[in-house]
């Protein structure tokens, strides 16, 4: 929770407390009026005023609190949306979005953001006020009416938070399940919508429809289970605990009155005030669902923000090895997917500002190795230090922020060229963008487009050629200013002219940037100081002869193909 959002929540809690205080004044005045009637004393007109003013203030405060918390929740939600998207864009700079990432973002920015906002701005302030209310009421009884009753009721107060925490714990798993189910459903919807044409072409409409229906049903079932739990909470709270508190305070008040320790007026006032003790329990019953959903969503958002790549540089404090300046070290790294182990015992030292090439047959694990370097693929064992940051200590977010990558397949999102470049550096000026485009040798083509930087690239870059898209993606990596550039076959899927331009652009990169490239292109291999082959799950350094042969073998294979 940001300081601003905490401040807002506190404001609402303060208004709630004003409402409670005004209600207490009304209850005391009503107690006085009934007591006066029973005991035959004349009520001073001040009590009538107190009753009237207290009632008006309580009603107004309730209205104001409701309006404020609603407004604050909307503002909080609006602030969360760009933050979620910002993390998404920054993540995608080091690696293309994972297949399920779109659905995850939709859920986080939609459902989760809404629930968290409600939780922080509606549930949380309500809860603070509700928990403070019984304590204040007991203190009022203790000081103003009867010390013993006040003390006994005060002693019972800790039961309330204990009970609430207990309920929250009890339903945590069910709530998390419901959240996951919703996330799966929206991912499936998004998938179906974005592949509508393909689904029709393949005649898979019925199957997709059935699948969506099934997921919808699973989602409904988990929500119903959660609501059923909520209902049980309401019954227990209202039926049992309300009764317990009312009986307790009434019993105490009556006994004390009978024994002559307090007046009838005080006894009646105590009974009336004891209604306030039930406030938090009513709140829990009414908002339990928001509270549970909010907590689970808060965790999901927290995880998402933790994974965010951090800004490069100025991170010396988290350095464990102090290598810095774009160096990378992998020590005894093992990595894989599911049950299969792809790489094992990999040792690799890459000096800052150097050029390293990785070769190997298809499926050997070259992209997997780069995944470890970008921080998107956590190793199963071993140490990964990127730009002086130990992945274990600094976290994947920090590692992701150290490098920029250009991948086998370009990742451009629907929007303008400027939008796509701004992902790398939101504060970049047009001049800086043009400079990056020039470095990637695509500036002329962009300049000749009717709208220049504001030209649309279409969905997944369909309005620019594959070679242009790849060079725009290279420009984006340049613009990021990150010290490490990871290129995964940057010249695959592009035409000859684009290939030449990309290779030229890479060869012009200065030695302030560390470059690791998966490639079989001779000119790129020549640029590299070290060349390694990924084979049988390990890395083998290649001699100059082997490198030369590597290239001819590859070229021959391609010619044959
Ligand atoms: P290519 O030259 O075709 O790009 P590569 O050397 O980059 O191949 P990787 O993509 O690293 O190969 O894949 C190495 C192995 O890991 C392959 O057997 C592949 O099937 C497997 N693999 C890759 N990504 C995943 C994944 N997300 N889940 C499961 N297995 C994967
Ligand atoms: Mg690959």
- What pLDDT, in 10s, does the model give residues 201-245? 788 888 889 999 999 999 999 889 888 887 887 777 777 777 888
Percent of the chain whose predicted confidence (pLDDT) is above 70: 92
- If pLDDT is split at 50, 70 and 90, which confidence band does 317 have? very low
| pLDDT at position 410 over 80 | no
Which residue, chain included where needed, has tokens 């506190």? 10
Question: Going from the N-terminus, what domains does the chain have, and what CATH number goes with each?
Answer: 86-306 (1.20.1560.10), 328-560 (3.40.50.300)
At 322 the pLDDT is: 43
The span from the CA of 53 to the CA of 73, in Å, is 30
Check if the beta carbon of residue 456 is closer than 8 Å to that of residue 420.
Answer: no
Which residue, chain included where needed, has tokens 């019984």? 134
Q: How far is the CA of 134 from the centre of ligand 1 (A)?
A: 60
Residue 284's SS3 state is: helix
Ranges 104-108, 228-232, 470-474: which has the least confidence:
228-232
Q: How far is the CA of 520 from the centre of ligand 2 (A)?
A: 12
At 411 the pLDDT is: 73
Q: How far is the CA of 244 from the centre of ligand 2 (A)?
A: 67
Residue 497 carries which DSSP code? H
Ligand nearest to the CA of 364: 1
- Take atom 10 of ligand 1 and give the residue whose Cα is closest: 367
Q: How far is the CA of 365 from the centre of ligand 1 (A)?
A: 5
Ligand 1 pocket residues where CB is under 6 Å: 337, 342, 360, 362-368, 408
- Take atom 26 of ligand 1 and give the residue whose Cα is closest: 337
Residue 542 carries which DSSP code? -
Ligand nearest to the CA of 99: 1
Q: How far is the CA of 367 from the centre of ligand 1 (A)?
A: 7
- Take atom 9 of ligand 1 and give the residue whose Cα is closest: 365
Helices 279-306, 205-235: axis angle to 10 degrees equals: 140
Residue 153's SS3 state is: helix
At 177 the pLDDT is: 82
Instruction: Please report the atom of ligand 1 found closest to the CA of residue 340.
Output: 30
- Take atom 3 of ligand 1 and give the residue whose Cα is closest: 362
558 CB burial (10 A radius; 0-12, 13-18, 19+): exposed
Question: What pTM was computed for the model?
Answer: 0.64
């Amino acid at each position: 929770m940001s300081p601003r959002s905490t401040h807002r929540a506190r404001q609402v809690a303060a208004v709630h407390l004003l409402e409670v205080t005004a209600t207490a004044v009304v209850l005391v005045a009503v107690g006085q009026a009934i007591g006066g009637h029973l005991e035959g004393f004349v009520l001073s007109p001040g009590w009538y005023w107190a009753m009237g003013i207290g009632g008006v203030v309580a009603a107004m405060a309730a209205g104001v609190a409701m309006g404020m918390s609603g407004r604050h929740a909307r503002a909080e939600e609006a602030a969360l949306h760009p933050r979620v998207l910002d993390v998404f864009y920054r993540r995608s700079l080091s690696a293309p979005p994972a297949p399920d990432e779109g659905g995850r973002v939709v859920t986080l920015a939609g459902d989760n953001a809404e629930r968290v906002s409600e939780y922080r701005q509606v549930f949380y302030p309500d809860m603070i006020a509700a928990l403070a209310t019984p304590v204040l009421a007991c203190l009022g009884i203790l000081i103003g009416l009867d010390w013993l009753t006040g003390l006994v009721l005060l002693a019972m107060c800790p039961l309330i938070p204990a009970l609430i925490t207990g309920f929250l714990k009890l339903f945590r798993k069910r709530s998390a399940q419901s959240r996951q189910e919703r996330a799966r459903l929206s991912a499936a919807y998004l998938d179906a919508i974005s592949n509508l044409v393909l689904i029709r072409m393949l005649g898979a409409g019925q199957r997709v429809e059935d699948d969506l229906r099934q997921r919808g049903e699973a989602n409904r079932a988990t929500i119903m289970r959660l609501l059923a739990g909520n209902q049980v909470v309401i019954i227990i709270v209202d039926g049992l605990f309300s009764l317990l508190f009312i009986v307790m305070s009434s019993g105490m008040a009556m006994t004390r009155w009978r024994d002559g320790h307090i007046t009838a007026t005080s006894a009646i006032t105590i009974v009336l005030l004891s209604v306030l003790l039930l406030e938090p329990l009513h709140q829990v019953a009414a908002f339990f669902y928001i509270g549970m959903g909010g907590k689970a969503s808060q965790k999901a958002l927290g995880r998402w923000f933790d994974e965010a790549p951090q800004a490069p540089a100025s991170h010396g404090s988290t350095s464990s090895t102090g290598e810095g300046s774009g160096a990378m070290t992998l020590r005894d790294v093992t990595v894989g997917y599911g049950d299969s182990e792809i790489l094992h015992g990999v040792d690799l030292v890459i000096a800052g500002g150097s050029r390293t090439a990785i070769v190997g047959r298809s499926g050997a694990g070259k992209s997997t190795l780069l995944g470890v370097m970008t921080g998107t693929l956590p190793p199963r064992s071993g140490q990964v230090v990127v730009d002086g940051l130990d992945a274990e200590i600094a976290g994947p977010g920090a590692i992701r922020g150290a490098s920029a990558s250009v991948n086998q397949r370009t990742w451009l999102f629907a929007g303008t060229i400027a939008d796509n470049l701004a992902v790398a550096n939101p504060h970049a000026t047009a001049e800086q963008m043009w400079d990056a485009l020039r470095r990637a040798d695509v500036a002329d083509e962009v300049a000749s487009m009717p709208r220049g930087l504001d030209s649309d690239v279409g969905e997944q870059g369909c309005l620019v050629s594959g070679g242009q898209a790849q060079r725009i993606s290279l420009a984006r990596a340049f613009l990021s200013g990150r010290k490490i550039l990871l290129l995964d076959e940057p010249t695959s899927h592009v035409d000859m002219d684009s290939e030449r331009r990309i290779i030229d652009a890479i060869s012009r990169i200065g030695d302030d940037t560390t470059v690791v490239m998966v490639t079989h292109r001779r000119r790129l291999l020549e640029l590299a100081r070290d060349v390694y082959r990924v084979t049988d799950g390990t890395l083998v350094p290649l001699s100059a002869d082997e490198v030369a042969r590597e290239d001819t073998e590859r070229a021959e294979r391609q010619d044959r193909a």
